[in-house]
Structures are given as C-alpha cells and as structure tokens.
Structure 1
Amino acid sequence: MADFSFKTNFMIIDSLENASKYYSVHPRFEKAFEFLKSQDLNALEVSKFQIDGADLHAAVSAKEGVTPEVAKFEAHNNFIDIQVCISENEKMGWSTRSQCTDPKDPYNAEKDVIFFNDKPGMYFELKAGQFAIFFPEDVHAPMIGDGVIKKLVIKVRKD
C-alpha cells in the first residue's frame, strides 16, 4: 500500500472511493472528505456550505460547460480547491504556476483569485465521482464541456 503521509504541492486526480488516502496531505482534508462522504452528491441543490468556518467551505454549482477557449484559467494564493464532478464529464486545463507568465489582471485578494491569459499545458477529464485537488501552485481551467456540469468545490485554507 502506498504511503501518502508526505506533504504535496502538486495537483491530485482520483476517485472519491480513494479519498481517505489523502487525509494526511493536509490537516483539513479529512474533514473535507468526510463532509463529501456524508452527502448524497446527486441530491445536492446549488448552494453554499460552511464546513469549518472560513477555513473550510463548499459550493455546489450547475452551469453550462464552456469551450477551452472561453474557460477561465485561474489560481488561488490562500486556498486549495477540491473540485468534485457530480454529473456529466468535466474537462479541465492545467499548468503549473511557474509556467504562467501573462496575468490577465492583478491578483484579487478579496476573491483569492488571479486569472491568466496563458493557455493550459495539458487537459484531462473528470467523470462523476472523481475529484481534482488544485494547490496554489496549480493554474486550472475548469468547467470545460457540453451541457450542464454539476460540481462541488471545497475551498481549503492552505495554512
């Protein structure tokens, strides 16, 4: 069995059934994934959830997918994203922040986001029940696909 007791600062892609393997990656991950386990994801309505105050919160969205050319290419300084695909497939773009050199605007501290004009270095697809974890070093372009994409994003304060 693999040892996941190390600290990581790189994107993770896996299925919810394997979530417990990542509890030790960050002190708040166990609580985040336990929240996910306690929910009937398909029954969740579009809404926001407080899990542990400002340090751990979630939002469910259901929006029309976009093309890769329109997808927002973003990164966060203070939060880690756990993005869970609930229904449909969701394609995402990714690059490491060190490869992104063309910010669209300055960092927005209030929303903890910076957008880039750069293009992703790679794309991958999540299916229902899969998740991606994006650390501050990861620039990501979510919501790429056809039809309505329903997802849950947990924001985990990095410190």
Structure 2
Amino acid sequence: MIIDTLNNASKYNSLHPLFAKAFDFISQKDLISLEDGKFEIAEGLLLIVNNGTAMTKEASLEKFECHDKHIDIQICANGIETIGWKPREKCKTPNGDYNPDRDRRFFNDEPDMFFQLTNNQFAIFYPEDVHAPMIGNGEIKKLVFKIKIKI
C-alpha cells in the first residue's frame, strides 16, 4: 500500500505502465467537476467516479475486500475518508468465495489500522492489501482507478 498526495503522484509512474496514464489523466481535470460514472481511459485502465455518502465502520467492514487481478488507486477528491487496511497474508476469515467477474474477495477480519484521506490524497492498493473504504460522515467525492496487473 502507498499513501501520498497528488502533488507527488509522478514518483509512482515507474511502478506500473498504466500509473502514468492514470495520473496524467487526472492532472488535466478538475476533480470536483468530474461526473459520476465509469470511464475507460485505456486498455486495462478504468476510472470510477463516485460522489457518495460515507458509511459507518461496520457497514464498510462488511465489504473488507481485496483484488486478485487489479490494483486500485483510490483518490479522495473532496471530503474526509477513513479507510481500514490489513495485509492479506494476515486475513484468516474469508467472507464468501472469490468473485472472478468483479475481481473481489471479502474477509471478516478486523483491519490492523485505519487512516484518513482528504482532498487530493490517494492510496494505492495492491492485491495483497485488504481495504475497507468510504468510512466517515457526510459526502465524499472519490475516484478509483482499476488497473489490470497484466496488460
């Protein structure tokens, strides 16, 4: 997992061929004015924009998730978002089976830590990062890049 601000995003471009495309795309946009929806930016690179109501810790932990085939870059464009995190290797209690269509695996474990993102901060979650996002109060404008591991 990586946590940083968009001002430092270019430092991570070498970690995956599509990171530069993702960060370049948002550097040319007003994040607040982006409309909700799903947008294919390039092959293997999907952007999901969502302006939604934050949820309780308990509600988010019902979907304590990780992915096998994608990396998430989750950006808080506006608001204060708390996210739970735990390394997958420490998760011992699966919550259902892996869903290959949605590339999601859920766990009933408790996060090892919680952290906050606010305006123009982001987290990068690799397949080994189990995460529970959108915890907080009020509205959160969030962008999630879904990046295929192998393109």
> Normalized against structure 1, the TM-score is what?
0.91
Question: Any stretches of 5+ residues in structure 2 without a counterpart?
Answer: none
Deviation at 1:27, TM superposition (A): 1.4
* Residue identity in the other structure for 2:7: E
| 3-state DSSP of counterpart to 2:59 | coil
Aligned 1:71-150 pairs, distance under 5 A: 71=60, 72-150=63-141
- 2: distance between equivalents of 1:80 and 1:146? 26
| Distance in 2 (alpha carbons) for counterparts of 1:76 and 1:112 | 5
Q: Could you tell me how far 1:67 is from its partner in structure 2?
A: 1.3
Counterparts of 2:142 and 2:116, CA distance in 1: 13
| Residue-by-residue CA offset, 1:40-91 (whole Å, 9 max, x unaligned) | 10111111111113x0010101111111111021000000000000111000
Aligned partner of 1:60 in structure 2 is: 49
Aligned partner of 1:13 in structure 2 is 3
Q: Secondary structure at the match of 1:45?
A: coil
| TM-score, L = length of structure 2 | 0.96
Write the distance in 2 (CA, Å) between the matches of 1:103 and 1:51: 32
Q: Which runs of 4+ in 1 moved over 3 A?
A: none
| 1:84-142 deviation digits (Å, cap 9, x = unpaired) | 00111000000000011111110000000011111111000001100000000000000
RMSD over equivalenced CA pairs, Å: 0.7
* Pair 1:48-2:38 in alignment: yes
Larger fraction in strand: 2
Identity %: 52
Residue 58 of structure 2 aligns to a residue whose secondary structure is coil
Structure 1: tracts of 5 or more residues without a match: 1-10
